């Protein structure tokens, strides 16, 4: 497999992951992107190239960094990152009702999504 094919597969996988994490089906994503659902399927399968304007649009819809979607950066969070370890330790101390409130605050920081 060529480097270009590897990059296309990486981008396809990140787009699929971002869509899933955004809680969208391919059909819902297609509607928001003004595309057909089979187009999303072809992109996520790595069978269709994605333009930079499309990457930017996907990033906006999925609320992720377009640079990451374009294949740059780490695939996963580094569990050895000291900031991440601190966050996990602090989250373990939070009462369930406080965790619910924290999640609402984080959602508010992210801002409204289309349709809200």
CATH assignment of 3-69? 1.10.260.40
- At 111, is the pLDDT very low, low, confident or very high (cuts 50, 70, 90)? low
5-53 pLDDT, tens digit per residue, is 898 999 999 999 889 888 899 999 999 999 999 999 999 999 999 999 9
What are the domain boundaries of the chain? 3-69, 77-116
0.85 exceeded by pTM: no
What pLDDT shows up at residue 48? 93
Which residue did the predictor score with more confidence, 39 or 91?
39
Instruction: Write out the chain in H/E/C secondary structure.
Output: CCHHHHHHHHHHHHHHHHHHHCCCCHHHHHHHHCCCHHHHHHHHCCCCCCCHHHHHHHHHHHCCCHHHHCCCCCCCCCCCCHHHHHHHHHHHCCCHHHHHHHHHHHHHHHCCCCCC
């Amino acid at each position: 497999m060529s480097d270009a094919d590897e990059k296309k597969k990486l981008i396809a996988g990140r787009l699929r992951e971002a869509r899933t994490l955004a809680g969208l089906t391919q059909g819902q994503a297609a509607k928001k992107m003004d595309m057909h659902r089979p187009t999303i399927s072809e992109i996520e399968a790595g069978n269709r190239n994605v333009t930079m304007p499309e990457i930017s649009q996907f990033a906006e819809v999925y609320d992720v960094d377009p640079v990451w979607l374009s294949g740059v950066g780490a695939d996963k969070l580094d569990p050895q990152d000291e900031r991440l370890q601190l966050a996990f330790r602090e989250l373990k101390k939070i009462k369930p009702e406080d965790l619910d409130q924290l999640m609402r605050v984080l959602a508010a920081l992210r801002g409204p999504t289309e349709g809200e």
